[in-house]
Structure 1
Amino acid sequence: MLAARAAKAGGFSCDIPADWLQGRTAFGGLSAALALQAASELEPDLPPLRSAQIAFIGPLSGEVTVTAIKLRRGRNAAFIQADVASEAGLGLRATFVFMAALPSALVHDAAPRAPVAPPPPDAKTFIGPDTSFIGNFEFYDHKDGLGPAEWRRWARLRERGGIDAFAELLAIGDALPPAALKLIDTRVPLSSLNWQINFIDSAPTTDDGWWLLSATAETARQGYSSQRMTMWNAAGDPIADAMQAVAIFG
């Protein structure tokens, strides 16, 4: 996709392939990763990505234009905004915070380690149909010991060679269904509204492409759900914490 992109002022344009669609719009993780690509290319020598605030504003499909602008860059941190738009209008707006490590006497880490091990080499994994975004991933579910509105799933991209680690995490991190859907017996339309993700590790790595995803819906009422999300690498190290709001039409 990026190999065929066309350069634009402050970014680029590219086509969203049909196998990256989620219904009538591009998969949110892909759109977020495209926004990060434009943001990362805007400024030279950016420090590591620390945080992203993403608003899923409208549908994106076909040709999209991805642009980025610098909001501010100081001695330690850079704030960059990136937009993804299509013929239908603005579909995604993200604010990325890049920040260098600072000397500090403060060391505190109460984040829990991964509660389950990655899948063994002979594990039976799940791959979705190639006609949808889910076909780009390989999954391995853990169903024991979960709450009524909780997902826990190992995930990896089927094609991940040469991908920036943070772009990979954005693409994978949004791959779980909303946790509140486990409370409903029937399929209903839904839409992610936003996504706030903070990266704990400044240089995330994992083994064999596997990342553990967890999502727990804390509230769901009046068609609106708020959920907390966590990501770990294959060694069990916490990589990212996140929150997301989801509209559920049913």
Structure 2
Amino acid sequence: MSALHDILAAVHDAGDGRRRVTIPAAWLQGRTAYGGLSAALALDAVLNALPDLPPLRSAQVAFVGPLADEVEVTVTLLRRGRNAAFVQADVGGATGLGVRCTFVFMRAMDSVVDHDRTATAPCPPPGPGDTILRGLPAIAFTERFETVERTIDGVGWRRWVRLVERGGLAPAVELLAIGDALPPAAMRLLTRPAPLSSLTWMVNLLDPAPDTDDGWWLVETRTDHARGGATSQEMAIWNARGRKMAEQMQAAAIFG
């Protein structure tokens, strides 16, 4: 059971806003679950616990500790107003809290502001002549994705990414699942192997109903600062029609 929709289908209700599921070894990143999976599990739990929420507009994710095997997701409604709702979802396992997410859901409102200067995708979607890669066996979760490499100036990565096994996912859940799929941009600076770990991740959705064609999303990450073991990177996601779907920022640690 490695397809994300199968993992979500296997989640069972533990009562009191808690949901339990087992993370397959195929989704691990070292000794912990791939961050995009953890965030997707948290969001899916929220959508099941509070099905009448408006669209997701922002997600703040803190990677507190490792997650593997059986985990439990606890959903807490922090505040719900007329226009927006703030919801917390904690994902914990045998070693304690692993991931804490704060999701902001907000309905569209009438506004005098209508401004969009986001750039279109800087490269075309995959075509018949492109080589599609399937990740590295040594990093289990990467085999859950198909990728097509694109060039990028500066320090970072740019790849078209899609889930190998797609379908049956809420659009925002799929977006979170692929949003953290690229290596930290600071890896391009390393002169020797060194462990890296994501610390925090923030995603702002620019479209209340993100979608794409044939499962492909263009994910880009770049950094202009890495010092003292701490890095900061800016990230973005476009759909296959060239429209930017999300803007992101992530902090990561380099142990070496």
TM-score (norm 2): 0.94
Residues 114, 236 of structure 1: 8 Å contact kept:
yes
- Aligned length, in residue pairs: 248
Residue 237 of structure 2 is aligned to residue 231 of structure 1: yes
* 1:159-193 deviation line (CA, Å, top 9, x unaligned): 11111111111110000000011011222101000
Q: Which amino acid aligns with 1:103?
A: D
Residue 249 of structure 2 is aligned to residue 243 of structure 1: yes
Deviation at 1:35, TM superposition (A): 0.5
Deviation at 1:130, TM superposition (A): 5.6
Alpha-carbon distance in 2 for matches of 1:42, 1:78: 13
* 1:170-223 deviation line (CA, Å, top 9, x unaligned): 110000000011011222101000001100001111010000011011200000
Alpha-carbon distance in 1 for matches of 2:69, 2:53: 30
Alpha-carbon distance in 2 for matches of 1:44, 1:22: 30
Residue 220 of structure 2 is aligned to residue 197 of structure 1: no
Alpha-carbon distance in 2 for matches of 1:18, 1:69: 28
Aligned to 1:167: 173
Residues 42, 69 of structure 1: 8 Å contact kept:
no
Moved over 4 A (4+): none
Alpha-carbon distance in 1 for matches of 2:214, 2:11: 28
Residue 11 of structure 2 is aligned to residue 11 of structure 1: no
TM-score (norm 1): 0.97
Structural RMSD (CA) = 1.1
The within-5 A match list for 1:176-215 is 176-215=182-221
Q: Matched residue of 2:157: which SS?
A: strand
Residue 89 of structure 2 is aligned to residue 82 of structure 1: yes
Deviation at 1:15, TM superposition (A): 0.4
Residues 207, 245 of structure 2: 8 Å contact kept:
yes
Q: Which amino acid aligns with 1:96?
A: F
Deviation at 1:122, TM superposition (A): 3.8
Deviation at 1:129, TM superposition (A): 4.3
Alpha-carbon distance in 2 for matches of 1:78, 1:69: 11
Aligned to 2:4: none
The within-5 A match list for 1:21-170 is 21-129=28-136, 132-143=140-151, 145-147=152-154, 149-170=155-176
Q: Which amino acid aligns with 2:202?
A: Q
Alpha-carbon distance in 2 for matches of 1:216, 1:129: 22
Q: Which amino acid aligns with 1:203?
A: A
Q: Which amino acid aligns with 2:194?
A: V
Q: Which runs of 5+ in 1 are unaligned?
A: none
Q: What is the percentage of aligned positions where both structures have the same residue?
A: 56
* 1:129-176 deviation line (CA, Å, top 9, x unaligned): 467000100000112x521x1111100001111111111111100000
Alpha-carbon distance in 2 for matches of 1:40, 1:173: 18
